[in-house]
Amino acid sequence: MKVQWQVIVGIVLAIVIAIFAVINVDDVKVNFLFAYVEWPLILVILGSVLIGGLIFFCLNIVRTNSMKKQVKTLEAAKKELERSLAAEKSRKVKVSEVEVTDSAPKPTV
């Protein structure tokens, strides 16, 4: 259900951005620090959205890969702990409790 809502919100945002971009078709001056260019505002808006989406996508890939690495590390640690627990259970010997009494009398004070 969560994925469906994400798709719906994504489509709505895409439509809003497209409408906003189509309304703003005037030429604007863009400064690239080394040159000035006049482009239609629609290209500036769509280009900015595209670059933002690419940055988000790349950051999401990095986060996903780090999470996968963490999961593998935790699974390996879990297997090792399970192995050591099984080894301890197999080594466990039932020891009977024996009371040890002192044969020497205690000094009285």
**pLDDT, tens digit (0-9, with 9 covering 90-100), for 54-108:** 999 999 999 999 999 999 999 999 999 999 988 888 887 554 455 555 565 666 6
Report the sign of the C-alpha dihedral through residues 18, 20, 25, 26, in that order: negative
pLDDT in the model for residue 108: 66
pLDDT in the model for residue 32: 84
pLDDT tier, 6 (very low <50, low <70, confident <90, very high otherwise): confident
pLDDT in the model for residue 74: 96
What's the mean pLDDT in 28-44? 88
Q: What is the pTM of this model?
A: 0.56
- The two structure tokens encoding residue 106: 């205690």
pLDDT tier, 26 (very low <50, low <70, confident <90, very high otherwise): confident
38: helix, strand or coil:
strand
What's the mean pLDDT in 21-46? 86
Residue 71 · residue 62 · CB < 8 Å? no
Please provide residue 89's backbone torsions phi and psi, each rounded to the nearest 5 degrees.
-65, -35
